[in-house]
Amino acid sequence: MAPRSSRNAGAPGAAVRAAAAGVVARVLRERVEADDALAAAEHGVAQRDRALLGALVYGTLRWHQRLEWQTARLLSKPLKPSQLELGALLEKARTMRIFGTKMRSVVNQADAAGIREIVAQQFEIARRIIAAGLVPIIEPEVDIHCPEKAQAEGLLKAALLDALERLPAQDLVMLKVTLPERDDLYAELVRHPKVVRVLALSGGYTQEEGNARLRRNHGVVASFSRALVEGLSARQSDTEYDTVLGASIQRIFEASIT
């Protein structure tokens, strides 16, 4: 469930971002000079936030024309049959200064050959993402209901280390994995020089169980989805929603810093 747009109203910096968006909208739609629009908006922003406001406004305007041109070029140029959709998406992401993107596979059994194939496929796509100037997030998820989960995770770790060994020294990836049965199983990956971060997906674990496992896996940080939205409901007021979400974020953050 996607949160309503008003949910971010109380977030730190939200007022500055909203003011910056208003200034940019005036410049683009009303053809107002940026300096004039910014000066008018500064009256409603705290003194300490005015530098940030200016940086947001001018940074956005600086890139606006280039992004508009790149987007128009991508949309007007039909893809050749040999071109996969991924190539156009990566090009668009690069022009928009996106950091990285992920691809997800699911491991249901402790099958060595199947796991090696999944990892090989992930790294094949990862190389294309790296070539486009982005950082790939490799996500071979071991299903939490896998009957031989610990064995599957051991096979996965071996396959990942082997694939990393063959990756050029300058190439970097992120790894997103299921919280393992054996604590600190992925410690070698956390320390690996070609790995930016090892992320943990919640994978269907409750937030309590996910946090408990996360604390026991040092250096691994949370990338929770289902566990993050646990307890949220469209029937909640904005205050109730923000309170529940804020408490979840804090608990997950604390579990991530072990």
30 is catalytic: no
**What are the start-end ranges of the H helices in 96-205?**
112-131, 149-166, 187-190
Could you tell me the two tokens for 146? 């896998």
Rounded (5°) CA angle 233-237-241? 55
The active-site residue, picked from 68, 80, 139, 165, is 139
The alpha carbons of the chain give a radius of gyration, in whole angstroms, of: 22
The active-site residue, picked from 117, 165, 176, 230, is 176
176 is catalytic: yes
Which residues in the chain belong to E strands, given as ranges? 100-107, 135-142, 173-178, 195-201, 221-222
Cβ–Cβ < 8 Å for 211, 251: yes
Q: Which residues have a catalytic role annotated?
A: 139, 176
